[in-house]
Amino acid sequence: MKISHIKIKGFRNLKPLELKIDKDKDVFAFIGSNGHGKTNLLEAIYLCALSKSFRTRTNSDLVNFEVDFCKIECAVDMEDPKILEIIVTKEPPQKVLKVNGVKRNASDFIGVLKAVFFSPDDLSEMAFAPKLRRRYLDVMLSQLDHEYLNILLRYQEVARQRNALLKKIREKLAKKEELIFWDEQIADFGLSITQKRADLIIQLQDLINTMYKSISQTEDELKIIYQSNIGEFDDKQSFLLKMTQNIDRDIATGTTQLGPHRDDLQFLINGHDMVYFASRGEWRSLVLALKFAEIQLIENKTGEKPILLLDDVFSELDEIRQKYLFEAIKGTQTFITTTHKEFLDGLDVERVVYKVGHGEVII
């Protein structure tokens, strides 16, 4: 799986551009000062894979201030080639997804192009942000398992509906009994999500442990534990009972407190929780292991390597971890942003280098 063509118009600060991608080369580097549009290029590609940005939930943020809409087009070279399009308009505010010119919903769009994204935020925030840890699981599963994606999208909608009802109950505009319908769906979808996440952790455990040892150059044992905030996740009645017991707090806050949207991952090194004991270097080794396990698992499941997106990560890695990253890049189509060309010197593969300045991309 490789990208062969990218067209961008009206997206953030980028000038209209069209890039033909040489499929015989692995690495495409975008070099320039911060704030000139390098990350926007990776964001555009990410949108073509996941239909959402890794930076904002507000679609209008994606459109340049001076235009009314933006369009991203990405040609994917695979066994059955695809043209992916995303069009975002300000008025009316909407996002349109297309595959080969035909409108598709998110569940049919996501996963056509598979991508793994890696940024400094992953390195600096994974230790402190349960949201990032959940997103790691959701992004991977959404690209691998359409059933999971459909369940996740339905769960998110049900949670929004339930939260809206909780606020009405708090304002005396609805009754508690009206929650029964939504609670049933939260339990059904929630149990499916937690089980699929737990199954994924089992598949990842040995892979990540092996990679962690290689990257950290230690014999430390890394263990991943999936923490469900409903406890045992194979019993619907227990889930519903806990929701009933928690109903007053839900109403007071206007939010659903229980469910997979509050779950987390725990990482142990030699039995010790990394949140309390790990160094920054150990966290860096973990995040690298997570990302490259993601690449490996996607390839194992689909027979194709995903696209790799690296956003200015070299300055955050020491020489040993940079070397591991360079080795892992080989054979994977990789799009890199960096402020200095020198960071690429250790990369022993053919590459195409673009300069980025004031939203313009020049080869």
Q: Tell me whether residue 257 is exposed, middle or buried, using C-beta atoms within 10 angstroms of its C-beta: 0 to 12, 13 to 18, 19 or more.
A: middle
When pLDDT is averaged across residues 240-263 and rounded to a whole number, the result is: 93
Q: Which residue has the higher pLDDT, 350 or 61?
A: 61
- Average pLDDT, stretch 122-139? 86
In percent, the amount of the chain with pLDDT more than 90 equals 63
DSSP state of 1: -
Q: Are 294 and 307 in contact (CB under 8 A)?
A: no
* Mean pLDDT rounded to a whole number for the chain: 90
Are 310 and 344 spatial neighbours (Cβ–Cβ below 8 Å)? no
- For residue range 271-306, what is the model confidence (pLDDT) as tens digits? 999 989 988 889 989 998 999 899 999 999 988 899
CATH class, domain 1-114+304-363, is alpha beta
- The domain segmentation of the chain, as residue ranges, is 1-114+304-363, 122-302
Show Cβ contacts of residue 135 under 8 Å, excluding neighbours closer than 6 positions: none
Which class would CATH give 122-302? Answer: mainly alpha
Q: Which residue has the higher pLDDT, 350 or 132?
A: 132
Answer yes or no: is pLDDT of 98 > 90: yes
Which helix (H) or strand (E) covers residue 360, if one does? strand 360-362
Amino acid at 219: E
Q: Residue for token digits 């300045």?
A: 357
Please determine, for residue 352, whether its predicted confidence score (pLDDT) is greater than 70: yes
Check whether the bond before 120 is cis (ω within 30° of 0).
no
Separation of alpha carbons 118 and 98, rounded Å: 26
Q: 76 or 235: which carries more pLDDT confidence? A: 76
The confidence band for 249, taking pLDDT boundaries of 50, 70 and 90, is very high
Residue type, 134: R
CA atoms of 121 and 62, how far apart (whole Å)? 20
> Of 61-75, 110-124, 135-149, 150-164, which gets the smallest average pLDDT?
110-124
Helix, strand and coil content of the chain, in percent to the nearest 5, comes to: 50, 25, 30
| pLDDT score for 329 | 82
Q: What confidence tier does 233 reach under pLDDT thresholds 50, 70, 90? A: low
* Average pLDDT estimate for 113-127: 86
- The secondary element (H helix, E strand) that includes residue 299 is helix 280-302
Q: What pLDDT sits at residue 344?
A: 78
Q: What is the DSSP track for 206-217?
A: HHHHHHHHHHHT
- Residues contacting residue 24 through CB under 8 Å, at least 6 positions apart: 350
pLDDT tens string 312-342: 888 788 888 888 888 888 888 999 998 888 7
Q: What is the pTM of this model?
A: 0.90
Checking if the pLDDT of 347 tops 80, the result is no
**Per-residue pLDDT tens over the stretch 44-59:** 999 999 999 998 888 8
99, 108 contact by CB (below 8 A)? yes
DSSP category for residue 32: -
Quick: pLDDT tens for 149-186.
999 999 999 999 999 999 999 999 999 999 999 999 99
The token duo for 23 is: 């499929």
Residue pLDDT, tens place only, 182-206: 999 999 999 999 999 999 999 999 9
Q: Which two tokens stand for residue 285?
A: 């080794």
